[in-house]
Structure 1
């Protein structure tokens, strides 16, 4: 048992280190470049990537010993096989795990502040997380945007036809507006509104909207703790948002009150149980509890909020949806997104 556990911990520190370097491989586009090259030397890779050779060499050392990149010692050439590249590059249609690895350095930058919270309580505000909105936009693109039209919207019967005809749509916690802008481009007869508490995110969403030349979007900095519903919507979405709200109960009630009588609310949130015992074999358990502790829970607690955290679970989510007044709640999973539930809910 002792030796086995020691080996387990050695594997953990190796893979934690590997996660950091996978993130660097994504940000420097080394994986994208390697996926287009034949087996190549350090010098060839560095020149193609326009990166410092000494750093590329050390990075490749991590990738080879981490069993990510193949190495032929007879000619000192490195190769990223296609069967691996499809999980590590921007261009392939499968999930890009190297993009998700960015969460490790994003979380690590607030470790000292989280330690302070362990001693004194409270939380760490959004403003402390450098690159959060950038990384979240990439993550949302993978789980939401890529499957939005083909997988997510069909969860609501007749919704696509209604969007073509023209309805009013609201996205709560829209971030940089990737989902809103894609839908606005595809369904020009509908009006799309995006709310987010972060001014940085709203600026990015508005800029992207202008780039796409859409005239049916409106992005607003909005704090749902201080406003009341003033407009009714036919369809409201919240993608990976509710669990880190300061007052999630009030947010859900705001959504309920903002829906037309025939409106539908669609919520994407983490696939987990409220009961820890049922999450023991969760394939992403350690990661999700970590991101909950170091971000989702903490940003809520920084404002004296509920601190639900990412692992609030399906049971708690259903309880809170019903408490807000929703009926006929359905929970679905989708093949393109292995880490989230999709809840659809309507008014009585």
Structure 2
């Protein structure tokens, strides 16, 4: 009689050097996450902007210039020095931000300001508990759980749109600038706080522009900016864009980083196609990534994209009993869904200054 050992075969000897290497990788991730939080604080408090305008200065001088408490500023400077973001001279106890670092950490950097992007990490961390619950129970986490989300999205989009919307994005669509100048109807899907609509309305006063979003607070912020800028040709409406019945047709429809968040994106794309003029165009700006995981492994920010998807874009869609398409739906899936919605002519464009997004120019 023979006996059989039911234990699984050994997976192989563990390499201690590789263990140490991976442990170092994990400690690096821990430090990078902590640095991200401190960079976010530096942006929100204006400390990077303050440092960029100062010669080598003590923590007391920096705090006084920024109007902040010195003890907190000193500890923050410690983190920034340890992260090699700020330099420190122990002989004079002074700190300095190199101009090359200020070029991507200050508000003066415009769309190159990466410090503003770091704010999404603490935002997402704030919903970790309900997301963990969704792993066990299913469902999703709704928009109300995401404090400051629309403010952060408005800040990000404003940086890019202020710098590039009129001069670089609109020209990606042949003839669109001339048509807007002459006067057409344009709708923006998932407009958020409506800054893009207002920029276009100010530049093209003969066109009639409308922004749709289902978040009432965001729509009110859009209306307030339109009033401040005296834009009678811009209006905003609280609306679920999966149903555009009664809106009429448009010469152009835009969607800036909004389609993948929708509960039912296929329905939204079909509505867009159905509400375009015969010669109308749809400009969809969305993530520049692949639908195939293996093709995203060389994208340095791919872990961030999948994290944002898990902890925001996918879960808010699932929270609405939606499809949970996710941030990294990818260019391939986007092209397939555009074709299924009735778009027969689709071009994918890119901008050198926008490394995250692809620009889909679609016609029926």
Per the shorter chain, which TM-score range?
over 0.9
Farther-moved stretch of structure 1 (159-168 vs 218-227)? 218-227
* TM-score, scaled relative to structure 1: 0.98
**Does residue 1:250 correspond to 2:251, yes or no?**
no
**Does residue 1:340 correspond to 2:357, yes or no?**
yes
Q: What's the counterpart of residue 23 of structure 1?
A: 40
What's the secondary structure of 2:345's corresponding residue? strand
CA distance in 1, matches of 2:22, 2:109: 37
Which among 94, 99, 108 is matched to residue 91 of structure 1?
A: 108
CA distance in 1, matches of 2:105, 2:228: 27
Q: What's the counterpart of residue 7 of structure 2?
A: none
What aligned pairs does 1:169-248 form with structure 2 within 5 A after superposition?
A: 169-248=186-265
Which among 69, 72, 90 is matched to residue 55 of structure 1?
A: 72
Q: What's the counterpart of residue 336 of structure 2?
A: 319
State the 1:227 CA deviation. Answer: 4.7
Which among 305, 311, 316 is matched to residue 294 of structure 1?
A: 311
What aligned pairs does 1:5-16 form with structure 2 within 5 A after superposition?
A: 5-16=22-33
Which among 162, 181, 185 is matched to residue 179 of structure 2?
A: 162
Q: What's the counterpart of residue 131 of structure 2?
A: 114
What's the secondary structure of 2:360's corresponding residue? strand
Cα deviations across residues 202-245 of structure 1 (Å, max 9, x unaligned)?
01111111111111101000012455253111011000000110
Aligned alpha-carbon RMSD (Å): 1.0
CA distance in 2, matches of 1:224, 1:183: 20
CA contact (8 A) 1:46 1:52 kept: yes
Which among 33, 39, 50 is matched to residue 33 of structure 1?
A: 50
What aligned pairs does 1:121-132 form with structure 2 within 5 A after superposition?
A: 121-132=138-149
Cα deviations across residues 262-318 of structure 1 (Å, max 9, x unaligned)?
000000000111111111111111000000000000000001100000000011100
CA contact (8 A) 2:309 2:328 kept: yes
CA distance in 1, matches of 2:161, 2:59: 36
CA distance in 2, matches of 1:53, 1:232: 57
CA contact (8 A) 2:185 2:251 kept: yes
State the 1:253 CA deviation. Answer: 0.8
State the 1:93 CA deviation. Answer: 4.1
State the 1:258 CA deviation. Answer: 1.1
> Alpha carbons of 1:255 and 1:227: their partners in 2 closer, same or farther (altered >3 Å)?
closer
CA distance in 1, matches of 2:282, 2:169: 12
CA distance in 1, matches of 2:203, 2:141: 38
> Alpha carbons of 1:332 and 1:225: their partners in 2 closer, same or farther (altered >3 Å)?
closer
Farther-moved stretch of structure 1 (326-335 vs 219-228)? 219-228
Identify unmatched segments of 5+ residues in structure 2.
1-17
Specify the structure having the higher radius of gyration (Cα): 2
Q: What's the counterpart of residue 3 of structure 2?
A: none
